[in-house]
Amino acid sequence: MKRRKFIKNSAGLALGAYALSSFQDKIESPSKKPKGLIKGDLIGITAPAGSIWNKAHVTKIERILADLGFRTVVGESNYLQEGFLAGSDEIRAKELMGMFQDTSIRAILTMRGGWGCARILDLLDYKIIAANPKVIMGFSDITSLVNAIYTKTGLVTYHGPCGYSSWGDFSTEQVINCLVKGQPYTMKNPSNNREDLKTWNSGTAQGKLVGGNLTVISSMIGTSFEPNWHDKVLFLEEIKEEPYRVDRILWQLKQAEVFHKINGLVLGSFRKCEPEEPEKSFSLEEIFKQHFTTVPFPVYQGASFGHIAPKFTLPIGVNVEMDADNFTIRTLEKSVIV
C-alpha cells in the first residue's frame, strides 16, 4: 500500500472513530421518574457504602420516617462491618438489588456515605433497576450510586439527606416538596443559612441536573458510569479538602472537557476546605475566582446542599433553571410521578 493512500485511509478511520465517539457521548437514556411517595408507603433503609458505627441513628431515622407517615424496613447492612464498609461488596449489592426487586418497597433511603458505593457499581443489574423504578436518595459517597443509576437507566435519582443526616424542618420540607408533592418548585437557601452566597458568573441556564460530591464526581470520569455532561446543570459540594486539592480536581474536570459541555454550575457547601498553612496557599475563594470568572456559563456559590444541616433535595435527571444572580434552582417539570 502506498503511504499516501494509507495515511488517507487511516485519517478516515480516525475521523470515523472520533465521530462515533462524539455521537456516543451524546446518547442518553430519556429520563424516567419513579412514583411519588404517599403516606403508608414502605421505605427500605440500606447502607451501600460506609459502616454505621452508631446504630442509634438507624432507630432515629425509623422514628423520623414514621412521624412522616411512612413504614420502614431495615437492611442487614446497617448492622454489619467489614473494615470501613457496611458488610462485603456482595452483601451490600445484593441487598440493594433486593430492595429494587421487592415490589412492596416504594423507596430506598441510603443510611450514610463514607466510602464504598463505587465498589458495588459493577455488581448491580441496571436492567432490573430500570424495570423497577423507585425513589433512591442520598449524598456524599452516594453520589456515585445515584449518578451511575441515572446514567445507566435514565431513572431520576435524588441527591438529598441520608438516614444519618440531620432532618430539620427545612430539609424535611425539601424532601416532601420533591418526593411527595412532586410539582415544580424553587430551591432557595433558608434565611438563616450561613453559607456565603456569591455570583462568580452572572446569568441563567437550563438543563438536566447532575452532580454531587466533587471528589466522587471526578473519580467517575473515564468510567462507564460517568454522566453525560452535555447541556447539564452541574452541582458540586465538598468537605475537608484543602484548596490545592480542590484546584487539582477542578483542573481534572476542565481537562476532561466537563466545563466545555455543561450549561451552568452551582457550588454548594465547601465545608472545612481551608488551607492548613494559609500563608503558603491560595484561599478557596481565589481558586474559584481563577476557575469561574471567565467561563461561558453562569456560576454561583453557596447553595444549601452538601455536608450541612439545611439541605436541598436535588432530582438528578430533572430539567431545571439556575439563576446565578438570584441564587435559585427551579425545577421545570415534576420531580416524581404524581
End-to-end CA distance of the chain: 64
The full set of domain ranges for the chain reads: 42-181, 186-331
- 186-331 has CATH 3.30.300.20 classification: no
CA–CA distance, 323 with 330 (Å, rounded to integer): 8
Tens of pLDDT along the chain (338 residues) come to 433 333 333 334 343 443 444 444 546 778 899 999 999 999 999 999 999 999 999 999 999 999 999 999 999 999 999 999 999 999 999 999 999 999 999 999 999 999 999 999 999 999 999 999 999 999 999 999 999 999 999 999 999 999 999 999 999 999 999 999 999 999 999 987 766 899 999 999 999 999 999 999 999 999 999 999 999 999 999 999 999 999 999 999 999 999 999 999 999 999 999 999 999 999 999 999 999 999 999 999 999 999 999 999 999 999 999 999 999 999 999 999 99
CB atoms within 10 A of CB 164: 21
Complete edge-to-edge strand list for the sheet that includes strand 135-138: 71-74, 42-46, 105-110, 135-138, 157-159, 314-316
The residue annotated as part of the active site, out of 51, 62, 95, 140, is 140
Q: Which of 77, 219, 291, 307 is catalytic?
A: 307
The active-site residue out of 62, 237, 238, 241 is: 237
Q: Is 144 a catalytic residue?
A: no
For 51, residues 6+ apart whose C-beta sits below 8 A from its C-beta are 80, 81, 82, 83, 84, 85, 86, 87, 114
The three grid cell numbers given for residue 228, joined into one nine-digit string: 453525560
At which residue does the C-alpha cell 423504578 appear?
A: 133
Compute how many other C-beta atoms are within 10 angstroms of the C-beta atom of residue 239: 17
The verdict on whether 140 is a catalytic residue reads yes
Residue 331 dihedral angles phi and psi, to the nearest 5°: -75, 140
The CATH-assigned architecture of domain 42-181 is 3-Layer(aba) Sandwich (3.40)
> Is 57 labeled as catalytic in the residue annotation?
no
